[in-house]
Amino acid sequence: MTKKGRVFSGARPTGRQHLGNYLGAIQNYVALQDDYDCIYCIVDVHALTTVETTQDLRRNTLEMALDWLAAGIRPEESILFIQSHVPEVMELHTYLSMVTALGKLTDLPTFKEKVAQQPDNVNYGLLGYPVLMTADIVLYKADIVPVGVDQAPHIEFAREIVRTFNYRYNTKVLVEPQVKHTEVPKVLGIDGKAKMSKSLNNHIELAATPQETTARVMEMVTDPARMKRTDPGNPDVCNVFSMHKIFSPAEEVEMINRECRVAGIGCVDCKKRFAANLNRHLEPFRAKRAEFASKPDLVTDVLNDGAKRARVIAQKTMQEVREAMALP
């Protein structure tokens, strides 16, 4: 089957993935493999811009790789690797930084947000993050970058860097990536207020046991106006119901939508039903993850093989870049 082009996407190594990661990115990664040549990268160097210790970096990287593989990333078809294992990206980052205006980096809203979040750790890498991200993408001559609408400006910035580089050196060696908008649902945490996040401890891990998953689901906030079992509820404002619509059968969703509004079903029963459906959905994932986890050398081999395949592309690109720049 002829593929439509090459996709690149990367994510920081945050360890075990949660439902927000799955719904927001991982399931899209899996689906894109059917139509595109996919390159997926665990961007460990990017992580260094915000962490002050690397104590958990290796473990988090392997845990993340386990989840991606268990979810359906197919290493025999797609390239899965660790960013720092392809050093050519550092070289390209340096060259691209020479054509990127400092003022444009300091004016980026994302940089200002990070400065506010970590005022005691404003480093050069944090400022140059968008340039390294551009190098990640264009090193592999990716045609497509799947992002949510809120991430699209980052790709436009990358396209601008590519245009500047190609113009300065009178070349077409670097490819402007195109945005592929993906539907990224806003997945609220179990608190029902903020986006699901490990840092807020409002997440549900994909790799949690069925018992742990059920316990987290039972903590989920439902309709805040429904104080008693006999009170009618409003599924439209209930975080549990929003998850039912993703993981539960259509007829069950319809029943809960109807019965909740007339107090025909209580929040406890509703949560138990969702927990059962979520655990059922995650059964194949957990089985596959356990299989990979029992063979840690296999996961390492997958990542090493991915880096070798990625370097073949990277080295060719860098040869073309150096020639375009007329480097001695």
Instruction: Kindly list the structural domains of the chain, giving each domain's residue range(s) and its CATH number in brackets, ordered by start.
Output: 6-187+296-325 (3.40.50.620), 210-289 (1.10.240.10)
Please tell me the least confidently modeled range out of 73-82, 98-107, 203-212: 98-107
Please tell me the least confidently modeled range out of 114-118, 212-216, 243-247, 311-315: 114-118
- Considering only CA atoms, which of 146, 164, 46, 54 is closest in space to residue 101? 164
| Residue 74 DSSP one-character state | -
pLDDT at position 232 over 90: yes
Residue 238 bridge partners (DSSP): none
pLDDT at residue 324, rounded to an integer: 98
Rounded Cα–Cα distance for residues 89 and 178 (Å): 20
pLDDT one-digit tens code per residue, 6-53: 999 999 999 999 999 999 999 999 999 999 999 999 999 999 988 878
| Residue 48 DSSP one-character state | T
**CB distance 121 to 114 below 8 Å:** no
The segment with the largest mean pLDDT, out of 77-86, 141-150, 152-161, is: 77-86
pLDDT at position 83 over 90: yes
What are the residues whose beta carbons fall under 8 Å from the beta carbon of 150, sequence distance 6 or more? Answer: 184
- Give the pLDDT mean for 301-308: 98
pLDDT tier for residue 108 given thresholds of 50, 70 and 90? confident
Hey, how many other C-beta atoms are within 10 angstroms of the C-beta on 175?
Answer: 17
The amino acid present at 40, given as its one-letter code, is: Y
pLDDT at position 148 over 90: no
| Maximal CA-CA distance, the chain | 79
Rounded Cα–Cα distance for residues 278 and 225 (Å): 25
Rounded Cα–Cα distance for residues 77 and 324 (Å): 31
Half-sphere exposure of 194 (CA within 13 A, CB side): 8
- Considering only CA atoms, which of 276, 275, 277, 252 is closest in space to residue 265? 252
Mean pLDDT of the chain: 95
